[in-house]
Amino acid sequence: MPTSEEKYQALLNDLRELGVYLHGRGDKTHALSQQFAENAKKDASNREFDLNQSRMLDYQHHLWHEIGNLVDKLIKQHE
C-alpha cells in the first residue's frame, strides 16, 4: 500500500504531466492558428472562414496556456 508521501509525489507527477500536455496543446493550436492566418493571406475565396478559424484557435491557444500556467502554479505551491 502506497504511503501518503508516495501518493502525494504521484499526484505532483500527474500534475506535471498535465501541465506539459496543456502547454503542448496550446502550442499545437497556435501553430494551427498561424496556418489559417497564412492561408487567409493566400486564398481570398476562403478568407473569412480562415480568419475566423485563426481567431478561434488563437483564443484556444491562450486558454490552454492559461490553464497550464495555473497547474504550474499549483505544483510550485506544493513542491
CA distance 17 to 78: 15
What lies within 8 Å, CB to CB, of 9 at 6+ separation is: none
Mean per-residue pLDDT for 14-27?
Answer: 98
* pLDDT tens for each residue of 24-79: 999 999 999 999 999 999 999 999 999 999 999 999 999 999 999 999 999 999 98
Can you give 10-42 as a three-state secondary structure string?
HHHHHHHHHHHHHHHHHHHHHHHHHHHHHHHHH
What pLDDT, on the 0 to 100 scale, is given for residue 14?
Answer: 97
Q: Per-residue confidence at 12, pLDDT binned at 50, 70, 90?
A: very high
What pLDDT, on the 0 to 100 scale, is given for residue 79?
Answer: 87
Name the pTM for this structure.
Answer: 0.88
Domain boundaries, the chain: 9-78
State which H helix or E strand residue 3 sits in.
none
